[in-house]
């Protein structure tokens, strides 16, 4: 891809999947750590270390939540250091990848 300089900003993308029950705790950790931008997608389903999660099951409704963060590398390291010990306790998944932020509104990292 060939774009003019200054259109894209190199960032880290963090995708976190936690149980719906753990979401409030994770959000509180991020606020305490001054994480300034994230997106939460509730009622996610799937199969992982905590078993199958089916948000459409009306009897045993135990959905997951997905949190997506785009930030600078230093902020990503801070988030991972805070999150990793907690993942051992409540389970979940965290993926970190390189991404590029398309310049537009002010970045929230």
Where are the domains positioned within the chain? Answer: 13-102
Report the Cα–Cα distance between both ends of the chain, in Å, rounded: 24
Q: What is the pLDDT of residue 53?
A: 60
Helix (H, G, I), strand (E, B) or coil at 53: strand
Strand 8-19 to 64-71 pairing:
antiparallel
Two tokens, residue 29: 């950790």
Whole-model pTM: value is: 0.82
Two tokens, residue 86: 């907690």
pLDDT in tens, 57-104: 655 567 789 999 999 999 999 999 999 998 888 878 999 999 999 988
Q: Is 44 left (phi over 0), alpha (psi -120 to 50) or beta?
A: beta
Return the CATH class of domain 13-102: alpha beta
3-state helix, strand, coil in the chain (%, to 5): 30, 40, 35
Q: Is the pLDDT of residue 47 over 90?
A: no
Place of tokens 């997951």: 64
Q: Which H/E stretch holds residue 34?
A: none
């Amino acid at each position: 891809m060939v774009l003019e300089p200054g259109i894209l900003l190199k960032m880290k993308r963090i995708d976190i999947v936690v149980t719906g029950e753990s979401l409030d705790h994770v959000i509180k950790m991020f606020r305490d750590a001054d994480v300034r931008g994230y997106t939460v997608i509730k009622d996610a389903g799937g199969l992982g270390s905590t078993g199958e999660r089916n948000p459409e099951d009306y009897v045993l409704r135990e959905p997951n939540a997905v949190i997506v963060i785009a930030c600078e590398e230093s902020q990503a390291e801070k988030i991972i250091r805070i999150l990793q010990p907690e993942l051992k306790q409540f389970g979940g998944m965290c993926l970190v990848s390189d991404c590029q932020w398309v310049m537009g509104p002010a970045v929230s990292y």
